[in-house]
């Protein structure tokens, strides 16, 4: 089985920073793209940032210049550095990854269970 576990969420004041981490574990042969999504109450889950296996990144317009996605392939981990946080960034943040697993010998998309980020004064 493949599991993704997020960590690093919490409560911060507007203008503050948080660093989220997501570690993948299990029967992993390789990981392609990884990304972060978020979902606020009453809203659809939306893309925040993605990073390919080669390091190419994409960001939602709302977070460009404030958030940075990165990865450590040796650790099967993706990070999201969030700076200049705003109240509208408040949401549950989910990790996503495309994984080629050993037992299935195929690609699958996996999600973490989320970590809460609250930006409030």
Per-residue pLDDT of the chain (121 residues; tens, 9 = 90+): 899 999 999 999 999 999 999 999 999 989 999 999 999 999 999 999 999 999 999 999 999 999 999 999 999 999 999 999 999 999 999 999 999 988 778 899 999 999 999 999 9
Task: List residues bridging with 50 in a β-sheet.
Answer: 35, 58
- pLDDT of 104 reads 77
> Closest by alpha carbon to 69, among 108, 22, 111?
22
- pLDDT of 103 reads 77
Distance of alpha carbon 46 from the chain centroid: 11
Sign of CA dihedral 26, 31, 46, 89: positive
């Amino acid at each position: 089985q493949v599991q993704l576990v997020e960590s690093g969420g919490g409560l911060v004041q507007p203008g503050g920073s948080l660093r989220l981490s997501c570690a993948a574990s299990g029967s992993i042969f390789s990981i392609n793209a990884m990304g972060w999504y978020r979902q606020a109450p009453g809203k659809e889950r939306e893309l925040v940032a993605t990073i390919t296996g080669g390091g190419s990144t994409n960001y939602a317009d709302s977070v460009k210049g404030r958030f940075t996605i990165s990865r450590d392939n040796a650790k099967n981990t993706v990070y999201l550095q969030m700076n200049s946080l705003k109240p509208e960034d408040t949401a549950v943040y989910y990790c996503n990854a495309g994984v080629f697993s050993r037992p299935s010998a195929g690609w699958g998309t996996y999600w973490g269970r989320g970590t809460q980020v609250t930006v409030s004064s």
